[in-house]
Amino acid sequence: MDQAAKDLSKEIKRIKNQLREPGKSMLDLRGDKVCKYLDYRLEHLVSRRIVLLSEEQRYLLSETGPSPLRFDPEVLGLLINNVPIIGEQHHSERQIKEIMALKEEVAESLAASLSKEKLWATIKANLESHLGDLEIINEDPLIFKGVLDGRSVMIFFYNNGWVLPNNDLIKDLKYAHQRDCYPVFIAKKIHGVIFPYFKAIGVQGFNLYSALITPEDMAQYNKLNAKLKVYEEVSYVKTNTSYQARVDSTNILTDTDSPLAKFLDNMAMQLTLSDFLKNFKMSKHSFAGQAASLSGQKVRDALVRTDTKRNLLLGRLSQKLQQ
């Protein structure tokens, strides 16, 4: 290992140690450090794979590995373009092209599955076993309105997205508040710093950790992904060729043993619409305006700090990328 490689290894170790410190995250790094750490992570990921599409890169960097070392999805939105990354393993150009074509077929099929009205109707039909008078009132984001134990409920269903501590979350809460509805957030991932805030104002949230698609589309997704596995076997490719994503069937909405079904079943016991309406009004519709007496100084400061850090880092990265 030459001196440059040794220096880089030491710097990456310092970055990892900083990220593992209590209260620290990717948002605390300088823009150049974020870019350097991203290059390191991508090089590591692609060393065990032949092709990584941009969707796979985002998934692996933001949703896998130790939590402190994951990337913020909004930060990745700036840094990851739509160009696939090719590994440096010794594979023929033909093999690379064939694997990329198969992966693109899987990605296109999955994207179509996630945007189908049939999927929304399936989610709605399954939710109807938990809520009455259910209707879709918005498609992007997907929002359901229904009645549970005589109380109006609004479900913000971010099926393949994150709920982040930013103004979009405040808009969603305000949207429900203005309509006297109790908000429930179901998302692929809800940022961890949000849960203390939810608890403080009386809101519920659930992490899916997967993107849901219909059982029929799930079967098609598995069939297409199996092609990659078969290719791996017949071509003697020893590197992981499967499409990197986390997908599940909408059946988990009604499977009585699934955590999501249990969450929905227990929702009625947790509903405190009057508390939410009062508490959210006290928070002045902003993280910065959160009343200290409502949730304590730590919760308020964590929300404000996370939102501020993200905006600062996004600004620094934008300037760096324009240079």
Render pLDDT for 171-192 as a digit per residue (tens, 0 to 9).
898 898 888 888 999 999 998 8
Token pair 């992981």 in the structure block, residue: 240
DSSP string, 101-139: HHHHHHHHHHHHHHT-HHHHHHHHHHHTTT-EEEEEEEE
Question: Which portions of the chain are predicted below pLDDT 50?
Answer: 285, 287-297
| 27-72: pLDDT as tens digits | 788 888 888 899 999 888 888 788 899 999 999 999 988 888 888 8
Q: Do 159 and 120 contact (CB within 8 A), yes or no?
A: no
Instruction: Say what the pTM is.
Output: 0.84
Residue 295 confidence (pLDDT): 42
Residue 304 confidence (pLDDT): 59
Residue 307 confidence (pLDDT): 66
Residue 238 confidence (pLDDT): 65
Tokens of 105: 């077929």
Residue 316 confidence (pLDDT): 64
Order of strands, sheet of 204-207, starting from the edge strand that comes earlier in the sequence: 132-139, 142-148, 151-163, 182-190, 204-207
Residue 189 confidence (pLDDT): 93
Residue 106 confidence (pLDDT): 92
Q: Do 157 and 171 contact (CB within 8 A), yes or no?
A: no
301: left (phi over 0), alpha (psi -120 to 50) or beta: alpha
Q: Fill in the amino acid letter for 238.
A: K
Q: What sign has the CA pseudo-torsion 279, 285, 290, 291?
A: negative
CA angle, 164 then 20 then 196, to 5°: 35
Residue 17 confidence (pLDDT): 92
